[in-house]
Structure 1
Amino acid sequence: MQIENFNNLAAFVVVAKERSFTRAAAKLGVSQSALSQTVKALEARLGLRLLTRNTRSVSPTEAGERLLQSVAPRFEDIAQEISALSALREKPAGMIRITAGEHPAVTILQPALARFLPEYPDIHVEIVVDYGLTNIVAEGYDAGVRLGEQVAKDMIAVRIGPEMRVAIVGSPAYFQKYPRPETPQDLTQHNCINFRLPTYGGLFPWEFENGGRELKVRVEGQLVFNNMALRLNSALAGLGLGYVPEDEVLEHIAEGRLIRVLEDWCEPFPGYHLYYPSRRHSSPAFALLLEALRYRGR
């Protein structure tokens, strides 16, 4: 295939990934009509229909999906190699995109970036808060943040935070109405504040461990959130029991705004890790940020 057709391929990859000519055109900085003509020209050259279009969405045909899976990784490799050329510059530079949940974004990434970025004005970082188990390769991220036990085996994982514990908490007003649970199973009799998992659409089961014994409890309650701040504020307001990271509530517990229960069932577990594809060619900018985030103990 001639070099001039690479632009057509690149345009097709963006449309196929975005499943939308509108979003793809905005991402590429071209008009929808021009982008549509570009893809049609590629289809005409190949003699194959690559995309199925209707008024609401765009999706790859069988041939389009095969081409996408074959070509997209090669464009990613080219982009990474070009990015790596920044090593030839005097100052590290480039854009780094990271997906993370709200808690690690606020407690780990933001403080680290506040120290890191002033030293490297040509490095730009985008943090996208997402509670789903995002496919960072498919979504075009350089890295993601997950708990250590959730990192896929084909990824490189670097520890960026200490071990964690959860805390089960309720307000004094709540415990005036309900007895304190003595075992995790007692939670089925309580008004618990649930957390919905965006990746699977289900409610997150509350996980416990004591002396090697592990339990998962499906709790019920009046409230379901996909946001930590809302869960914490609802617990403070006496609307139910919350299942939240320990560091978010220690001050509230110390000052009597929240009461902790089932502490002996909340053992430490692996904390947050930054993960990225094993085949990724680390740019100088990414390597510097990785070292700035690396957890070295305290």
Structure 2
Amino acid sequence: MKQNFTVRQGALDGVEAFLCVARHRSFRKAAAELGVTPSAISQAVRVLETRLGAALFIRTTRSVGLTEAGERFLSRAKPAFEELVAAGEVARGLGQRPAGLLRLSVPRAVVPILLEPLIASFCQAYPEIEVEIATSKELIDIGAEGFDAGIRLGQFVPADMVAVPLTPPFRFIVVGSPGYFAERCRPMHTDDLRQHACLRWRQSSGALAPWSFNDNGHAIEIAVSGPLIAHDFPTMLGAAIEGVGLAQLPEPMVAEGVRAGKLVHVLEAYAPVIPGVFLYFPGHRQIMPKLRAFIDHVKSRTAGYGKVRAQDDARRVAARKRG
């Protein structure tokens, strides 16, 4: 059963005035320091004494002294008030400059694609910020878990979050190793996947994710089969490089393997485009300087990605024409 209670209003009212008078042993000097009239200081102290039920000062025409209650109140109130002021300064500092602990929840696949190249430069640019990266494939409640923000593929960002794009949209493409294709024909149509070993991904919900394609503007999904079920993209990438089977993965994740000749694109005409990678955070909170600094830093470092991708696409089109 809930108990009725009343929140005490103005518990700190008059404390600053009391401390200032106790320090100066003068209502007039305390008023001058706080920028108010002596009568205002006197009234604040009287209200405090009434609330406490004890006189705190011995007042005469010549001096101001502390009663026993005033001495005891001073001994406890002074360090507590100073700590409260210090706490306010710390909070104010974090709200005015990039500093403090920045906690991010990210999927493991995003770390090598997006974060590893950026963390060193970000830490150098903002030495007062500590970055904590917690990798998880679960879509956790970042607010309840104490994270400043999360990073996810756009389609997995909760609808009630503010989402900031960190990359342009990119394709989900099917890749396989040259060794895998040494013994098999490359698929030319999505129906050909029935004859191939396809690596699958189990989602956090427990369901196996189908492979998604774009067939002349129509989105289609295909349930594939194969020898391996993984719970994250990096595992699928490693298996594809080793020739275990085909994998459908984000294009930025496989780009290095393709450039190095470890992977080969197939079914490019059917590759769907997904929104990209987003940083997200609760909309009801003000963006702290540490988070704003991270957003700006990442966006400045990834601004050239779209241009590089356009150049790669142009080279692929030219190569197909020459072929």
Counterpart CA distance in 2 for 1:252 and 1:165 is 15
Structure 2 residue 202 is matched with structure 1 residue 196: yes
Counterpart CA distance in 1 for 2:256 and 2:95 is 48
CA distance 1:125–1:183, shift in 2 (3 Å):
same
Counterpart CA distance in 2 for 1:294 and 1:178 is 41
| SS of aligned partner of 1:285 | helix
CA distance 1:281–1:247, shift in 2 (3 Å):
closer
Paired position in structure 2 for 1:287: 292
Paired AA for residue 92 in structure 2? L
Paired position in structure 2 for 1:127: 133
- Pick one of 229, 233, 238 that aligns with 1:224: 229
- Pick one of 262, 265, 269 that aligns with 2:270: 265
Quote how far apart the aligned CAs of 1:269 are: 2.2
> Residues 173 and 272 of structure 2 are in contact (CA less than 8 Å); yes or no, is this contact kept in structure 1?
no
Quote how far apart the aligned CAs of 1:247 are: 2.6
Counterpart CA distance in 2 for 1:255 and 1:105 is 20
Quote how far apart the aligned CAs of 1:123 are: 0.9
| SS of aligned partner of 1:179 | coil
Paired position in structure 2 for 1:233: 238
User: Superposition pairs for residues 132-151 of structure 1, below 5 Å?
Assistant: 132-151=138-157
Quote how far apart the aligned CAs of 1:200 are: 0.3
- Pick one of 146, 155, 159 that aligns with 1:153: 159
CA distance 1:83–1:111, shift in 2 (3 Å):
farther
**TM-score, normalised with respect to structure 1:** 0.66
Counterpart CA distance in 2 for 1:84 and 1:293 is 25
| SS of aligned partner of 2:144 | helix
CA distance 1:282–1:147, shift in 2 (3 Å):
same
Pick the structure with greater CA Rg. 2
Unaligned runs of 5+ in 2: 8-87, 305-323
Quote how far apart the aligned CAs of 1:192 are: 0.9
Counterpart CA distance in 2 for 1:276 and 1:83 is 23
- Pick one of 168, 177, 186 that aligns with 1:162: 168
Paired position in structure 1 for 2:15: none
Paired AA for residue 227 in structure 1? D
Q: What do you get for the CA RMSD once the two structures are aligned?
A: 2.6
| SS of aligned partner of 2:170 | coil
Quote how far apart the aligned CAs of 1:139 are: 2.1
CA distance 1:294–1:185, shift in 2 (3 Å):
same
| SS of aligned partner of 1:136 | coil
Paired AA for residue 105 in structure 2? T
Paired AA for residue 200 in structure 1? S
Paired AA for residue 222 in structure 1? P
Unaligned runs of 5+ in 1: 4-80
Paired AA for residue 161 in structure 1? T
User: Superposition pairs for residues 58-97 of structure 1, below 5 Å?
Assistant: 84-87=91-94, 92-97=98-103
Counterpart CA distance in 1 for 2:103 and 2:149 is 7
> Residues 164 and 268 of structure 1 are in contact (CA less than 8 Å); yes or no, is this contact kept in structure 2?
yes
Q: Deviations over 1:223-272 (max 9, x none)?
A: 11123333222212221111122233334334543332111011432111
> 4+ runs of 1 displaced by more than 4 Å?
81-84
